Amino acid sequence: MRTCGATPGGPDLTGVNVATQSIIQGAVLCEGINDGVPNGAPVTNAYVRLLDSAGEFTAEVPTNAQGQFRFFAAPGAWTVVVLAAGAREEVKVQAQQGTPVDLIIEIKD
């Protein structure tokens, strides 16, 4: 259950040299109850693809047991695509060095 003041969507950044990296990370969650808070169960068998500003594939990771993913990108415009059984979601993001982008992506049932 995600509550107010909870940690951001992506994996814990302890031990990661955030200052030198342009991180895009987050969590993929099932659609929760309709209360305006993304609180569905983590999607643990999704594939998250990172496309560059030209829409070219750059990297892909499976989500972990918490539905989380992380990319070490370069500063600039990227698109995050989530593939799960029967679902596809796309989010455009702007990466910058030193400030991780943290996403919560909902998969509709």
The site for other proteins (CB under 8 A) is made up of: 16-17, 20-21, 44-45, 47, 49-50, 52, 56-62, 65, 70-74, 81, 83-86
If one counts every other C-beta atom within 10 angstroms of the C-beta of residue 73, the result is: 22
Q: Which of 58, 48, 57, 13 is nearest to 27 (CA)?
A: 48
CB of 47 to other proteins, least distance (A): 6
Q: Which two tokens stand for residue 16?
A: 């990661």
- Look at residues 108, 25, 34, 22 and name the one whose alpha carbon lies nearest to residue 66: 25
Q: Which is nearer to other proteins, 21 or 40 (CB)?
A: 21
Which CB, 6 or 41, lies closer to other proteins?
A: 41
**Nearer to other proteins among residue 3 and residue 20 (C-beta):** 20
